């Protein structure tokens, strides 16, 4: 391979680069220091001519490695999209001329910055290989949908409509899910004036008539093995038979379950049959069969009904749901209208504190409820007293009085809980506990209350999709809503967060499309988001591996299994190419073709460190390419100045940062290091979910390194930077320059 490598550099003098920098010096640096076999200039490299020049060199001169010194790697991506080469970009525009003032006294440092970036880019390129797919899996178009409710049925129909064969797995004996038994649903179309027909029966019919969809009723998943493009899923049926399916990608639409109202004794749920949940009221409305709704205790027609909003939800009381289920106010309006429709002159009161009617038609539907003479009363119920007639005690917040009302039926607007599998990390977290007895005890406790597994994944990191909060499946809710932490398995519908039917259907459609994309990507050996299209994948050098298992534990996506001896077993198509495993490996044996400990180390090494008497410090900035680097680009565009001593190296994720980069940089004389990653708490913004958090943990040990080198702890700082931190990101770099000025240059320069 090595013999076939041919390196070519291209320097753009457009966008003012040629005016501010000496291009012939840059060319010299590229060929002399950077060892590019050829180096060409263009006045507008991204123009048709410039691009053609590079294409021709690739085609005719068998150039395999391309170094482009022009704008940021985030600009002109389409123009510089060359397949089948290793490519790097030196950022002379956003990285240099836009962040430095155009004055004579700065010319020297500005040129030095540019020279360094060219040296660094060339050194990186030298350490890169042309990425190629592994060929580990083929295209497998089968989509598996878990859950036969509205969400699952929608996902199945959408995937089938796009031409993909679908296996729809449902635990119960019928499709329809929770909404299947509803009388009517919240309207989704203008004028949003009355409850709409339940769409489930029609959906079931369409599914049964669709020959691309195979429905598996009474079925659960006994085992899921493999990776996107080659999942092997074992179905178990109630009757004991089993069957193995070969699947490309999966959608988990396992839905929700109603909150257990037995936890609400204050509302007499356990004492009176006439106190029902919103979920149970649907059955009463269906049972009424077009006639008036009757109360369960004695079958008497309901003449007055009171809805208690936020029963057991939106509350910090023990046993209550801390969150709001989003849809329950709309549901109560809908159900109040049932009474107006079926029970003639029935007095219908909704006691609410905050009435929330999200969605396009929410407000209209609320008005429709008012128009139908539903009484909305801002009041907080404290108690329901059972009796022949129920008494609801409440505080009327408008009339400011403790009051009560009598009614035949009370409906509790309780919330939705997710139907998730057990949280894989609940047990893994126990590995921290040293005392084995205690660990076993805790383990038992967790297992006792854990729900049954839904996916039964044969993954090193557990059987199911990881949770975020309150048992809902973790999905990248800010940027990539359906994307879970298990590649090729998309969580959609209320298992992800509480939602209404329309939202669940939209969600299901999105998830189905993502599943199709995942199957197609796996077939081509390409990464899923956010490095979509990336052909490189991590490999490890077995001879060097110490079986420490850090990579298998830290991978945010559970991509790596372990073999019997404890060596990592990579699953390329589960991998998102974040590099967290690479950053975790203490012996540095994990690498990608185009990104490795070495490619970054080479950049760090090939920035010239001026001698101490030059009084030119060097600050290394390792900036996450997803948020921090674009923030710096935008700051440059806005003309925010960056200190001339800074050298910015983009990294895939803070999670990929190897401690050795920090140690080596300090050893070779850098005066300060700034690490920039994404927000890492529950409201994380890390594109790789846990990468930033893993890195922070790892970097907490950097203090020891500094101590052993006898360096000041302020020399290394780690920050959470958002893409919007346009002023702050450059400021953090400039702050480090101030710090260095204060504490003095590093003693490690030679």
Partner 1 sequence: MSDLNTSMIEKYRSSFLKEVEANVEEGEWVKMCMQCGVCSGSCPLGKHWDHPPQEIFMMIRANKREEVLGSDSMWMCTSCYNCIARCPRGLPITHIMHGLAVYSKRLGLTPKKQPTAEFSQIFWDNLMKKGRVNELKLGLSMNFKDGFGEGVKNAMANQKLGQNMMKAKRMNPMEAFGGHGVKSPGDLQKIIKKAQEIEESKIQAAK
Residues that bind ligand SF4 (CB under 6 A): 538, 540, 545-551, 555, 557, 559-560, 568, 575-581, 584-585, 587, 589-590
Report the partner that residue 66 touches, choosing among partner 1, ligand SF4, none (CB closer than 5 to 8 A by kind): none
Binding test (CB under 8 A) with partner 1, winner from 378, 442, 524, 616: 378
CB of 367 to ligand SF4, least distance (A): 11
| Residue 370 binds which entry of partner 1, ligand SF4, none, CB below 5-8 Å type-dependent | partner 1
SS (H, E, C) 623-677: EECCCHHHHHHHHHHCCCCCCCCEEEEEECCHHHCCHHHHHHHHHCCCCEEEEEE
Minimum gap (Å) between residue 357 Cβ and ligand SF4: 15
Q: Does 2 bind partner 1 (CB under 8 A)?
A: no
> Residues in contact with partner 1, total (CB under 8 A)?
23
The answer to whether 223 contacts partner 1 (rule: CB under 8 A) is: no
Among 370, 546, 547, 724, binds partner 1 (CB under 8 A): 370
Residue from the set 237, 391, 539, 637 that interacts with partner 1 by CB under 8 A: 391
Instruction: Measure Cα distances from 392 to 260, 266, 279, 306, 435 in Å.
Output: 20, 10, 20, 8, 52
Task: Report how far residue 217's alpha carbon sits from residue 4's, in angstroms, rounded to the nearest whole number.
Answer: 56
The option from partner 1, ligand SF4, none interacting with 109 (CB < 5 to 8 A, set by class) reads: none
| Phi, psi (deg, nearest 5) at residue 676 | -125, 120
The token pair that represents 53 in the structure block: 């020049």
Nearest Cα residue to 266 out of 304, 300, 308, 230? 308
Judged by beta carbon distances under 5 to 8 A according to partner kind, the member of partner 1, ligand SF4, none in contact with residue 403 is: partner 1
Give the pairing type, strands 219-225 and 231-237: antiparallel
Pick one of 202, 360, 373, 478: the residue that binds partner 1 (CB under 8 A). 373
| Residue 700 binds which of partner 1, ligand SF4, none (CB < 5-8 A, kind-dependent) | none
Q: What are the tokens at 716?
A: 């290394």
- Choose between 384 and 559: whose C-beta lies nearer to ligand SF4: 559
Q: Is 399 in the site for partner 1 (CB under 8 A)?
A: yes
We find the least distance from the C-beta atom of residue 602 to ligand SF4, in angstroms, to be: 20
Nearer to ligand SF4, 94 or 554 (CB): 554
Residue 734 binds which one of partner 1, ligand SF4, none, with CB within 5 to 8 A depending on kind?
none
Q: Which of partner 1, ligand SF4, none sits in contact with 590, Cβ below 5 to 8 A by type?
A: ligand SF4
Interatomic CA distance for residues 233 and 598, integer angstroms: 39
Nearer to ligand SF4, 182 or 688 (CB): 688
| 52 counts as binding partner 1 under rule CB under 8 A | no
The encoded tokens of residue 201 equal 């029966």
Query: Is residue 364 part of the contact set for partner 1 (CB under 8 A)?
Result: no
310 counts as binding partner 1 under rule CB under 8 A: no
Instruction: Residue 242: name its binding partner from ligand SF4, partner 1, none (Cβ under 5 to 8 Å by kind).
Output: none
Nearer to partner 1, 300 or 378 (CB): 378
Of the pair 156, 305, the CB lying nearest partner 1 is at: 305
- CA atoms of 604 and 602, how far apart (whole Å): 5
Told to check if 405 binds partner 1 by CB under 8 A, we report: yes
Nearest distance in Å: CB 347, partner 1? 5
The CA distance from 698 to 700, in Å, is 5
Report 624-643 residues binding partner 1 (CB under 8 A).
none
Name 383's Cβ contacts closer than 8 Å, sequence gap at least 6.
266, 267, 268, 392, 393
**Minimum CB–partner distance for residue 380 and ligand SF4 (Å):** 19
- 354 contacts partner 1 (rule: CB under 8 A): no
- Which region among 199-207, 400-408, 528-536, 614-622 touches partner 1 (by CB under 8 A)? 400-408
Looking at the Cβ atoms of 428 and 548, the one nearer to ligand SF4 is 548
- Residue 306 tokens read as 């009171």
Q: Single out the residue of 129, 57, 252, 138 nearest to residue 522, CA to CA.
A: 138
To ligand SF4, the closest distance from the beta carbon of 222 in angstroms equals 26
Taking the C-alpha atoms of 580, 582, 585 and 590 in order, what is their torsion angle to the nearest 10 degrees? 150
According to the 3-state scheme, what is the secondary structure of 343-391? CCCCEEEEEECCCCCCCCCHHHHHHHHHHCCCEEEEEEEEEEECCCCEE
CB of 678 to ligand SF4, least distance (A): 15
Alpha helices in 132-216 (DSSP H): 150-161, 177-180, 200-209
Q: Are 40 and 10 in contact (CB under 8 A)?
A: yes
Question: For residue 359, how many other CB atoms are within 10 A of its CB?
Answer: 19
First to last CA, the chain: 35
> What, of partner 1, ligand SF4, none, does residue 584 touch, CB below 5 to 8 Å by kind?
ligand SF4
367 makes contact with partner 1 (CB under 8 A): yes
Pick 377 or 517: Cβ nearer partner 1: 377
What count of Cα atoms within 13 Å lies in the side-chain half-sphere of residue 637? 11
301 SS3 class:
strand
Task: Quickly count: other Cβ atoms within 10 Å of residue 474's Cβ.
Answer: 24
Binding site for partner 1 (CB under 8 A): 304, 306, 347, 349, 355, 366-367, 370-371, 373, 375-378, 389, 391, 396, 398-399, 403-406
């Amino acid at each position: 391979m090595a013999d076939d490598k041919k390196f070519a550099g291209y320097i753009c003098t457009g966008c003012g680069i040629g005016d501010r920098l000496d291009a012939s010096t840059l060319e010299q640096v590229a060929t002399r220091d950077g060892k590019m076999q050829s180096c060409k200039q263009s006045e507008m490299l991204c123009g048709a001519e410039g691009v053609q020049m590079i294409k021709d060199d690739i085609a005719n001169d068998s150039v395999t490695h391309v170094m482009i010194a022009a704008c940021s790697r985030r600009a002109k991506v389409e123009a510089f999209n060359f397949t089948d080469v290793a490519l790097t970009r030196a950022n002379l525009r956003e990285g240099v001329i836009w962040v430095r003032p155009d004055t004579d006294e700065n010319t020297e440092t500005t040129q030095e910055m540019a020279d360094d970036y060219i040296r660094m880019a060339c050194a990186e390129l030298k350490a890169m290989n042309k990425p190629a797919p592994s060929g580990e899996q083929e295209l497998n178009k089968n989509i598996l949908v878990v859950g036969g409710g509205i969400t699952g049925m929608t996902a199945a129909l959408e995937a089938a409509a796009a031409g993909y064969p679908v296996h729809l797995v449902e635990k119960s004996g019928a499709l329809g899910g929770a909404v299947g038994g509803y009388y009517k649903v919240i309207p989704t179309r203008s004028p949003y004036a009355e409850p709409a027909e339940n769409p489930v029966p029609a959906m079931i019919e369409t599914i049964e008539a669709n020959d691309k969809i195979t429905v598996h009723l009474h079925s659960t998943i006994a085992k899921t093995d493999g990776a996107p493009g080659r999942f092997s899923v074992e179905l178990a049926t109630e009757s004991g038979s089993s069957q193995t399916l070969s699947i490309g990608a999966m959608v988990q639409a396992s839905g929700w379950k109603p909150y257990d109202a037995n936890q609400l004794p204050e509302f007499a749920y356990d004492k009176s049959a006439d106190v029902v949940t919103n979920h149970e009221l649907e059955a009463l409305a269906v049972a009424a069969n077009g006639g008036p709704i009757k109360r369960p205790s004695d079958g008497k027609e309901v003449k007055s009904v009171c809805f208690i909003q936020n029963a057991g939800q939106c509350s910090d009381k023990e046993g209550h749901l801390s969150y709001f289920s989003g849809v329950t106010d709309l549901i109560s309006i809908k159900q109040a209208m049932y009474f107006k429709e079926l029970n003639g002159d029935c007095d219908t009161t909704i006691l609410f504190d905050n009435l929330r009617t999200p969605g396009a038609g929410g407000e209209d539907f609320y008005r429709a409820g008012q128009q139908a003479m539903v009484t909305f009363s801002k009041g907080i119920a404290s108690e329901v007293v059972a009796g022949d007639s129920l008494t609801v005690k409440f505080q009327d917040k408008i009339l400011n009085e403790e009051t009560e009302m009598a009614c035949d039926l009370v409906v509790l607007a309780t919330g939705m809980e997710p139907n998730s599998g057990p949280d894989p990390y609940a047990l893994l977290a126990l590995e921290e506990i040293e005392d084995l007895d205690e660990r076993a005890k805790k383990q038992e406790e967790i297992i006792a209350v854990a729900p049954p597994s839904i996916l039964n994944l044969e993954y090193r990191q557990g059987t199911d999709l990881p949770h975020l909060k309150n048992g809902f499946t973790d999905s990248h809710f800010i940027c990539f809503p359906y994307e879970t932490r298990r590649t090729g398995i998309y969580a959609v519908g209320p298992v992800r967060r509480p939602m209404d039917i329309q939202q669940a259907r939209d969600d299901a459609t999105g998830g189905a499309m993502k599943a199709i994309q995942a199957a197609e990507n796996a077939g081509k050996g390409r990464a899923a988001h956010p490095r979509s299209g990336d052909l490189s994948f991590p490999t490890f050098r077995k001879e060097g591996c110490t079986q420490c298992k850090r990579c298998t534990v830290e991978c945010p996506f559970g991509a790596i299994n372990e073999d019997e001896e404890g060596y990592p077993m990579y699953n390329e198509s589960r991998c998102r190419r974040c590099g967290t495993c690479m950053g975790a490996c203490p012996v540095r044996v994990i690498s990608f073709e185009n990104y490795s400990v070495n490619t970054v180390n080479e950049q760090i090494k090939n920035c010239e460190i001026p001698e101490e008497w030059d009084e030119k410090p060097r600050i290394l900035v390792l900036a996450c390419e997803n948020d921090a680097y674009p923030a710096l680009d935008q700051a440059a565009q806005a003309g925010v100045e960056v200190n001339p001593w800074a050298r910015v190296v983009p990294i895939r994720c803070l999670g990929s940062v190897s401690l050795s980069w920090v140690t080596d940089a300090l050893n070779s004389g850098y005066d300060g290091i700034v690490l920039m990653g994404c927000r890492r708490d529950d409201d994380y913004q890390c594109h790789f979910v846990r990468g930033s958090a893993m890195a922070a943990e790892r970097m907490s040990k950097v203090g020891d390194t500094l101590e052993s080198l006898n360096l000041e702890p302020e020399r290394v700082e780690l920050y959470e930077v958002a893409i919007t931190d346009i002023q702050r990101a450059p400021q953090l770099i400039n702050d480090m320059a101030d710090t260095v000025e204060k504490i003095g240059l590093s003693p490690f320069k030679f």
